[in-house]
Amino acid sequence: MNKKIIWFLIGIMSIVLIGMIFVQTYWIRNAVQVKGEQFDQLVNRTLFQISLRIENQYAMNEVYNNLYQVNPMITPPQNGTFNDTPGFYNGNEFTQTITFEGSSTGDSTMKTKLKVYSGDSLVYNQEQETTGENVDPVAGLSEEELFQAFFNNMNQGAMMMDNFLTQVFSAAKPVKDRITREELNMVLADEFEGKGIDLDFEFAVITQGGESIFQSDNYIEKENYDIYKSLLFPNDYYIEPTYLYLYFPKRNDYIIKSIGFMGLSSLILVFVVIIAFSLTIYIIYRQKKLSEMKNDFVNNMTHELKTPISTISLASQMLKDNSISGEYKNIDNISQIIEDESKRLAFQVEKVLQMAIFEKGKLKLKIKKLSINDLVASIANNFEIQVINKQGKLSIELNAENDMLEADEVHLTNVLVNLLDNAVKYTEQEPDIKIRTENYKKGIVVVVEDNGIGISKEDQKRIFEQFYRVSTGNIHNVKGFGLGLSYVKKIIDVHNGTVRVDSELNKGTRFEISIPFNQQG
């Protein structure tokens, strides 16, 4: 695929992904904001209702308590009712009306009615019947005079109540004497539970001047808390305004959780899309790099195969050329050239076929007992001539006392040939190559060291990848397919061994192969 097309696709996908993330983020933020506003509205409405409830309850309690003190015959309002009206004030002026009605029947029964009004609202209504049997006789008074005295007494009581209500609602009674911290906490918990707000809260009652009247045990003012404020006794114009301050320590967690499944699924969707996008970009990039490496592989393979084919072709032409007399053809030498080049060609083709077998997972090892010392000595002997031709030195140290192990002789030979071949090819000066064997607890270690050009730390992470070749300035100055070290790694892996590399640029490379004695399991 064209490089420009790849970058164009990546750009389009990136814009779409960023747009989707932006939309999802905006939706989540908007949902959290809406939930927060709904929660705030609910809390503010509840606090307003709580303020009215506290004020009305206080007013009704005061009215009843004092009515009872005036006339003990007035029982708590069972037949009568306290109306739950919003406040006892009309504008800035408190007004109340008390009416008392009484009547007598011929059977010595007296009916009484006591009503208390706040403006046009009925606050208290009590009706009672009193018979003559319940009225204690008074010496020297007739029954009619006795009832008249009773009516006079009740009228006096009504006047006393009128004076009392005026005093109660015009006097500046402190808030702390109207409600306690425990009572306020109970009312708050009851109201919030009724509204479905199951959250811990902290509160404080503070005057307009900043004086704290009381507060909950853990109340702390913090900037990161959303504090709700409500006026206590909102209809009381005769005392300094007092406010209820309240906050929920876990408000934000509650709002986020309230989004529920939709919010969570949205986050998961965004995460999955990001992962999928990243994997797609990675795969596209990897495929592009693999395509480039395969192109390099084809180019290198062409050069590698072209040389022996040209040599064989030239040799066969010499044999067919009748203009050259038989004594000058040197058939033995030409035959040796053809044989060597044919082996070289077969080796290269074999490497390609082996990698294809690896890709399909069909590799079958022919395991047998062999001596690693003998194998190393034989291979090193074949490379000695190449090293000497480059004025170098090849040293062998066979330190493995127990050198017998189970392995595939052909593949293990190819592994060592690859390592020694690289050591010779990638050395610019006189090569100094060392190969040694030694034992470890579970098997044998073979070490190949050279003084070549070395491998950078970055390249060391990728040298075992298929088709990957370390750049040496000019990619074709040393021929190869980029299959050698990949083949080495795969063969050692299927032998249950390990390959380690230690290299430094311009100082040399050290490969260490560890293979266990036995291959069972």
Q: Where are the domains of the chain?
A: 3-55+176-259, 71-171, 261-340, 364-516
**CB within 8 Å of 242: residues ≥ 6 apart:** 175, 205, 206, 207, 208, 213, 231, 232, 233
- How far is it, in rounded angstroms, from Cα 499 to Cα 512? 6
* Res 8: pLDDT: 82
- Digit-coded pLDDT (tens) for 85-105: 333 333 333 444 555 555 555
The topology under which CATH files domain 3-55+176-259 is Beta-Lactamase (3.30.450)
Q: Residues of 453-462 as b/e, b for ≥16 C-beta within 10 angstroms?
A: bbbeeebeee
Q: Would you say residue 515 has pLDDT above 90?
A: yes
Structure tokens at 35: 């939930």
Q: Which residue has the higher pLDDT, 52 or 118?
A: 52
* Alpha carbon distances (Å) from 21 to 10, 264, 315: 16, 14, 68
The pLDDT-based confidence of 375 (bands split at 50, 70, 90) is very high
* Res 86: pLDDT: 34
- How far is it, in rounded angstroms, from Cα 387 to Cα 433? 8
Structure tokens at 473: 């300035």
- Digit-coded pLDDT (tens) for 282-303: 888 777 777 776 777 677 677 6
- How far is it, in rounded angstroms, from Cα 169 to Cα 88? 8
The structure tokens 């044989």 sit at: 339
Is the distance from CB of 54 to CB of 148 less than 8 angstroms? no
* Res 256: pLDDT: 81
* Res 26: pLDDT: 85
* Res 92: pLDDT: 36
Q: Would you say residue 74 has pLDDT above 60?
A: no
Q: Which residue has the higher pLDDT, 68 or 397?
A: 397
- How far is it, in rounded angstroms, from Cα 188 to Cα 163? 33
The topology under which CATH files domain 364-516 is Heat Shock Protein 90 (3.30.565)
Mean pLDDT of all residues in the chain?
Answer: 76
